[in-house]
Amino acid sequence: MNMSSSNIEYLLTAGDPSEVDALFAEARRLRDEVYGRRVFLRGLVEVSNHCLNNCLYCGIRRDMRCQRYRLTKEQILDCCRTGYGLVFRSFVLQGGEDAWMTDERVCDIVRSVKREFPDCAVTLSLGERGYESFARLREAGVDRYLLRHETADAGHYALLHPQEMSFDHRMQCLLDLRRLGFQVGCGFMVGSPGQTVETLKKDLAFIDEFRPEMVGIGPFIPAAGTPFENEPAGSVELTLRLLAIIRIIHPHVLLPATTALGTLHPTGRERAIRAGANVVMPNLSPQDTRALYSIYDNKLSTGSEAAETVADIRARMQAIGMEMPVDRGDFCLKQTP
């Protein structure tokens, strides 16, 4: 399929449903060629909702008056134990940029997880850090790092973030992570204030050039109490088209069907899989902290036990012809035989 700049623009805006169906079919074909009809699970553990940053869109930004928490190492290990006992072989430890999460503390947590679950991948998503810090985390055994770039347009970045945050530093972090041998994930919100077709084309060009191992995109959802609380939510339809386009320009990428899609549409995650996604990230965090990690409003965070959630997701995936292997779900450069 033609992925020239003008055709991408056409695909993002086309009104013809048959064109969109063809786009999704091509994305599925390419995904199946590389990964087969498999959806990989990552167990998400939300380790802290403290954050020293003030991103304008975020429900746990520094200025929010909300109840803050941090999980202890033992709580984090408990979440992983629960996940391992189900089918998880990949854990994502996510949190705000929390100064309490020093290299020493994070490395200790990572080493403990790796010691107890040596066959599992550990991903961190703890925001920006310096090169030396990333190097220590890598040394401690971290396999992957997720850091959404948020937008590849510096002017748009400045609209979404306070002055003290730097577009250049964020991009530098992604380069540092790549240099240190992490599997790197970037990503952005769809429909964030100030986003245009032109900024989206820059995001896609960045992904095409950087070739990240993962890309996380989901619709923007406004969070009460933030400067963007009255902005409209992003479009599920546009997110699905972007997922398909990303799959086509980078067929080997690991592409999550994000929680934000499931929040805006009851079958949003299934639709994402049908548009070429191949990862889901159920929440393994303790029941009593899930509601506190409210980065946007009404976040899909069923009170269900992890076992119930996994059974529900497996049934949903089977219904659309996908299987969920017990697998770390590493980035793959080969094609399935």
> Please, what is the minimum distance in Å from the beta carbon of residue 187 to ligand SF4?
12
> Please, what is the minimum distance in Å from the beta carbon of residue 161 to ligand SF4?
8
50 vs 201 by CB, closer to ligand SF4: 50
Question: Helices in 54-184 by DSSP H: which ranges?
Answer: 73-85, 103-116, 131-139, 154-160, 167-179
Region of 204 please: left (phi>0), alpha (psi -120 to 50) or beta. Answer: alpha
C-alpha span between 135 and 125 (Å, rounded): 15
Q: Does 53 bind ligand SF4 (CB under 6 A)?
A: yes
SS3 125: strand
Angle of the 167-179 helix axis to the 131-139 helix axis, nearest 10: 30
CA distances from 61 to 44, 157, 170, 292 (A): 20, 16, 17, 12
Looking at the DSSP bridge assignments, the partners of residue 187 are 216
Q: Does 97 bind ligand SF4 (CB under 6 A)?
A: yes
Q: Which stretch binds ligand SF4 (CB under 6 A): 38-46, 53-61, 207-215, 254-262?
A: 53-61
Share in percent of the chain as helix, strand, coil (round to 5): 40, 15, 45
Q: Which stretch binds ligand SF4 (CB under 6 A): 47-55, 173-181, 254-262, 284-292?
A: 47-55
Strand order in the sheet with 43-48: 43-48, 90-95, 121-125, 144-146, 183-190, 214-219
> Please, what is the minimum distance in Å from the beta carbon of residue 27 to ligand SF4?
28
- The footprint of ligand SF4 on residues 119-178 (CB under 6 A) is 127
Q: Which of 23, 34, 41, 60 binds ligand SF4 (CB under 6 A)?
A: 60
Q: Which stretch binds ligand SF4 (CB under 6 A): 48-56, 130-138, 222-230, 329-337?
A: 48-56
39 vs 190 by CB, closer to ligand SF4: 190
119 vs 164 by CB, closer to ligand SF4: 164
Q: Does 61 bind ligand SF4 (CB under 6 A)?
A: yes
Site string for ligand SF4, 183-212 (x = CB under 6 A): ------------------------------
- CA distance from start to end of the chain: 23
Q: Does 96 bind ligand SF4 (CB under 6 A)?
A: yes
CA angle 229, 235, 239 (to 5 degrees): 120
Q: Does 58 bind ligand SF4 (CB under 6 A)?
A: yes
> Please, what is the minimum distance in Å from the beta carbon of residue 41 to ligand SF4?
23
Q: Does 218 bind ligand SF4 (CB under 6 A)?
A: no
Contacts with ligand SF4, residue ranges (CB under 6 A): 51, 53, 55, 58, 60-61, 96-97, 127
